[in-house]
Amino acid sequence: MIRLLLPVVCCVLSSLPAPGKQAHEGKSIIEVSKPMRGGQGLGTRVYGPTAREIPFLRRVEEKPIDFWAGSPMPPPMGEKEDPADKAAKQKRGKEELRKAKEYSLAGQVGKYVGWFGIVREISWNKEKGQTRLLLEHKYFDGLTDLHIHIVSIYGAGDFAAVLSGKADTIPMLSLIRVYGRVSEGEEGVPVVSAEYARLWDWGLFTFMDYGPDKTNPKWVKLRKVKGDDVYSPRPSKTFYEERLGKRETLSRP
């Protein structure tokens, strides 16, 4: 599948309304995404945050990175590219590719982020009153299909999210976006203290293939498809099982 718009990472921050009073107080907010409006055919649009999500999205501190860098983008049909423009584009592409390759989750410690991940483990700490999620990070270029959300099948490794309150009804292998500040964590797994989380269950998201893949080999072994084959505009149960594994083989610690 080819993107119909230039990829962006920072979404639409400049067009969002000014943030008001901080929405998060105490227990983490969990919002379940609804199906996107259909009947528009296949196409691309900019990510649409919900009203509750906007204040958290505005706080994200990560700088935009083009995770499509290194993927050749041909000029419009029938047009010839100026050699000087081509050379400048190649130079910019090499710099963006370097940034994409050097990107790491551990490198974001101390920053406020809005990371996407696949839920791999869920545990409840009764003493602290916290839910801990182990997440398989997924790159996001800021764009979705008109009818369904999209992230990359690739990512920068594992991270954890800690939510205040009990959240043990989150479906395993669902897609979640967590907003919060990153701490170092243990054993090389950074931790996001999640103030807000937005959830997409199966049927509401699909995959494309972009970005340097630094996914935990444990999860990579579960993939049955590669390259462009990771995408489907109408994902089924089999679609997710061939890319993420089977839900029934997982257990909650």
Q: Which tokens is 41 given? A: 């055919």
Q: Looking at residue 194, what is its pLDDT?
A: 98
| 170, pLDDT greater than 80 | yes
Segment holding 83, helix H or strand E: helix 83-102
**C-alpha to C-alpha distance for 145 and 140, rounded to whole angstroms:** 13
**Which pLDDT does position 169 carry in this prediction?**
84
Provide the percentage of residues in the chain whose pLDDT is more than 70: 78
208 CB burial (10 A radius; 0-12, 13-18, 19+): buried
CB 142 within 8 A of CB 213: no
Is the pLDDT score of 77 beyond 70?
A: no
pLDDT tens digit sequence for 38-53? 656 678 999 999 999 9
Q: Stretch 62-71: mean pLDDT, rounded?
A: 86
Residue 234 CA: distances (Å) to CA of 53, 149, 154? 26, 11, 20
Place of tokens 């107080």: 25
Question: Bridge partners of 136?
Answer: 118, 158
pLDDT of residue 168: 78
**Mean of per-residue pLDDT scores for the chain:** 86
pLDDT band, very low/low/confident/very high, at 24 (cuts 50, 70, 90): very low
Statement: residue 178 has pLDDT above 90: yes
Confidence band of 90 (pLDDT split at 50, 70, 90): low
Let me know if domain 13-62+108-249 sits in CATH 2.40.50.140.
yes
Domain range summary for the chain, segments of one domain joined by +: 13-62+108-249, 68-102
